[in-house]
Amino acid sequence: MRFDEDHQSPDVIDRRGEGGGGRGPSAAGILPFLPILLRSRFGWVIIVAFVGYSALKGIGLTGKQGAAQGQHASAKPDTELVHFVSFVLDDTQTFWTTEMQAHQVAYRHTKLVLFTDSTQTGCGFGEAATGPFYCPQDERVYIDLGFYRELSQRLGAGGDFAQAYVIAHEMGHHIQKLLGTSDRVHGKRGSAEGADGPSVRLELQADCYAGVWGYHANKYRHMIEPGDFEAGLRAASAIGDDRLQRMSQGYVSPDSFTHGSSSERSGWLRRGLETGDPKQCDTFRDRLQ
Q: Which residues contact 90 (CB under 8 A, 6 or more apart)?
A: 7, 9, 11
The more confident residue out of 52 and 34 is 52
> Predicted confidence band at 87 (pLDDT cuts at 50, 70, 90)?
very high
pLDDT band for 192, please (50, 70, 90 cuts): low
Question: Is the pLDDT at 53 greater than 70, yes or no?
Answer: no
pLDDT of residue 21: 53
pLDDT at 104 over 60: yes
Contact 155, 61 (CB under 8 A): yes
Burial 74-108 (b: 16+ CB within 10 A, else e): eeeebeeebbbbbbbbbbbbebbeebbeeeeeebe
Give the model's pLDDT for residue 33: 33
Which segments of 222-261 does DSSP mark as H helices, in order?
228-238, 241-249
pLDDT at 186: 78
| Residue pLDDT, tens place only, 237-288 | 999 999 989 988 999 999 989 899 999 999 999 999 999 999 999 998 855 4
C-alpha to C-alpha distance for 179 and 242, rounded to whole angstroms: 29
pLDDT at position 134, please?
95
Q: What pLDDT score does 24 carry? A: 42
pLDDT band at 32 (very low <50, low <70, confident <90, very high): very low
**Backbone φ and ψ of 275, nearest 5°:** -100, -35
Partner residues linked to 140 by β-bridges: 111, 135
| pLDDT reported for residue 189 | 55
Provide the whole-model pTM.
0.83
Q: Is the pLDDT of residue 234 over 70?
A: yes
Which of 153-157, 159-163, 183-187 has the largest mean confidence? 159-163
Decide if pLDDT at 226 tops 90.
yes
In three state form, how does the secondary structure of 5-16 look? Answer: CCCCCCCEEECC
Which of 55-59, 154-158, 196-200, 229-233 holds the top average pLDDT?
229-233
Rounded Cα–Cα distance for residues 218 and 52 (Å): 29
Average pLDDT over residues 112-133: 93
Share of the chain above pLDDT 90, in %: 58
271 vs 156 pLDDT, higher one: 271
Predicted local confidence at residue 155, as pLDDT: 85
Distance CA 118, CA 103 (A): 37
CA distance 132 to 4: 23
Q: 282 near 201, Cβ under 8 Å? A: no
Q: For residue 64, give every residue at least 6 positions away whose Cβ sits within 8 Å of its Cβ, in sequence order, or none.
A: none
Average pLDDT over residues 7-11: 92
Q: Is the pLDDT of residue 23 over 70?
A: no
Instruction: Give residue 76's pLDDT.
Output: 64
